[in-house]
Chain A
Amino acid sequence: MAGLSKLRRVQISGVLVALAFVFKNTSELTAITNLIMLAATVVAGTPILKRAVGALKYKILGIDALVSIAVIGALAIGEYWEAAAVTFLFMLGDYLEARTIEKTRSSIKALLELAPDTARVLRDGAEVEVSPDEVVAGDVVIIRPGEKIPVDGTVLEGTAYVNQAAITGESIPLSKQPEDNVFSGTIIESGYLKVRADRVGEDTTFARILQMVEEAQDKKAETQKFLERFSRYYTPSIIVLAALIYLFSRDLVLALTLLVIACPGALVISAPVSIVAGIGNGARHGVLIKGGEIMEKLGKSKVLAFDKTGTLTVGKPAVTKVKAYNIGEKELLRLAAIGESYSEHPLGRAIIEQAERELGPLTETPDEAELITGHGLKAVIGGETILIGNRKLFADHNVSLAGVEAYLAGEEAKGQTAIIVGNLSGVLGVISIADTVREDAKALIDTVKRLGIAKIAMLTGDNPGTAKSISDQLGIDEYYAELLPQDKVRILNELRTRYGAVAMVGDGVNDAPALASADVGIAIGGAGTDVAMETADVVLMSAQLKQLAHAIGLSRATVRNLKQNIVFALIVAGLLLAGVLVKTVNLSFGMLIHEANVLLVIVNAVRLLGYSAD
């Protein structure tokens, strides 16, 4: 009897309750009916009573104790049907809640299943299969198509396409070759890799993500703490109320019914189920949100601040404009590219890349070329001397810039680096180069504004021209340029005073102080970066901006879900209390509503698992 599983108890007592219901309404055999009801009560009620007694030993009055008192009371006054129905409903509710609540936590289980289970390592020249826990740092691991990489490591040999969804949430395979880093838990779709194990077991990024998600799930949100405080007063007040009612009206049934609804189950559970589902959804999309409090803060943030331009730009200069005087634009680009042939300068590389894109591979080389550090270069192409560089270069060679000065100044004000191309007799043209904005950045800014971020700010150490140009292109509301790290902290404080909670996005490495001083610090591209993973409040595993949109959208959806749950639970609790007091709700009906309320709150939270930003 004691060994019956929860499900068995629910089934047996369910059948008995149904039987009793039929007998009650059709036959006159009261004794048999009562016996069946009693049996149902014992089957379903034993574990409740056991828990209640166990808790009372430690002077703790839980819902089990309240239900037990109500049921014993009901039996004492001959309300066998109520006793059977209440215990059955309570156990059924408990069982269904366990099943549905598992669902809200299913994301982490799904993640766990991605963990590697075997590893093939080279030991004394031979391949041996071992458990991933037995791999030590420095081992050489071999991974074939379809297999999971069991360690964080560096590719020694081979090439492969690797699906990194377990880490980044991004399932488009990435190409990996020698020197590249690979992560534990990711899968080789095609190809073959020999990897040197750098981190193994619990130290791998994958293992740490799992651990962080698990910890995050149980970090309480502010709302949750408040609800727990509330319920600490709610339950005893209802018990006192029940006692008072019995004392004054001698209405035992009413008093017992109050006990059954005294536990604000749905209210207490409303916040944690939403939070756990939200965090689980994030984890599956490469967004690690470290706890309920952070989820709430992010969901309520008003300002999104980007630390430095690099997050929004490609981070690599590119030619944005070619202006030619007296020669064709293509010819100008060709000359400049040939001149830069031997240059390793990033600006020179940008010119060559643009020329090859427009004109095809370059075959010509300059007759001679001389790099003049800080000024540019002087090359001889087809017998003609060509100057490529800044104002100083042209001043040194006494070439006048009078005709183009206005244009140069205009370009520079737009944040462009203007490279002047000319010969010894005059200027041939100007090539503008700048870091370009990321293609997904514009879409991101639009999305987060739609999601309810009131102000978007950019804090950068770059010059004002570059900052303005980028913020104009993207529709950023405010930019602050030429900042030192300590300035950023001050500006964040100003933004907070003016608009409200600030979420700050950065790489989590160079900008740790700024991220720490924001209400929510978001590190982008955090996979594999220890500092970012440890210190940021929210870690976006990949460098993709759409993960940022997902994080912000998800946090808002979670906060919304949580509010729906609280409001719903409060309304039902209020109606239930009123219903009991005016005697339209009896013992078993009260229990039914109570359990249904809890279930609905959980089911609402499960919806969050399907949230998607696009």
Chain B
Amino acid sequence: MRETTVNDAPPHDQAASAGSNARPVPFRGGGFAPQPRKGVGLVVFVALIALAEWGTRTGFITNLTLPRPSDVLITLGELWDSGLLMKHLQPSLTRLAVGAALGVAVGIWVGILIGLFSYVRAGLVPLVAALFPIPKIALLPLFVIWFGIDEGSKYALIAFGTFTPTVVATYGAVDNVDRGLIRMGQSFGLSWASIVRKIVLPGAMPGILSGLRVSLAIAIILLVAAEMLGAEYGIGAYILEAGSLYDLERLFAGVVILSLLGVIVSAVITRIEKRLLRWRG
């Protein structure tokens, strides 16, 4: 310690001897560059749950307002033990997978067409803009007539809900592909298909993937909405039933499952991004 002070002393002396006008340049840089902070997210989660647990135990929060987190956990355990969890989860995951796959696939396809062809763009962009703000849930009765009361209407609802955000993200991403790279492809005599496959698609991939994040979150929301209307099994049906009985433990157990589903989907997309966008470094 002492050594440091000795070493630090001379510049200080110099500054002092340079006159009373000498002072260090104030630091004004830094910031505006978020860094990864591991574990902070977990701490927030744990703190909130601990607060709820403490509140419900002491009676500071009544049982009517919020269920006790430990009770929710027990309910989840029972759900697992009885095998009901899989019974509810399996149809939900199928609906999510089929609906989202349909919506995303068609959405990416239409988005690319809008991005590449002036007529398709002129014709479809206003249509997509008109469809986007419609709450898809409001159309559910219509879908029931069109696609049947069974799985068909649920697939259609989820597909329709993921379609619009995917289209918007995809054609935006295609618009952002460096035109210089496309000119380069043309100057080397690449075929149209090659330019789309080797330049446009990979160039649009970052935008398409971040659009996918939004689309899949919407898919989970719509999954529950679809199951609230006529489904025997499914996370949505489970939540709806718990809600009408005001069984808060089961309601929250269902909500926790949905949250976990969202976290898993987001993690999967992060994995895909890491793999496909390795070139961005």
A binds B: no
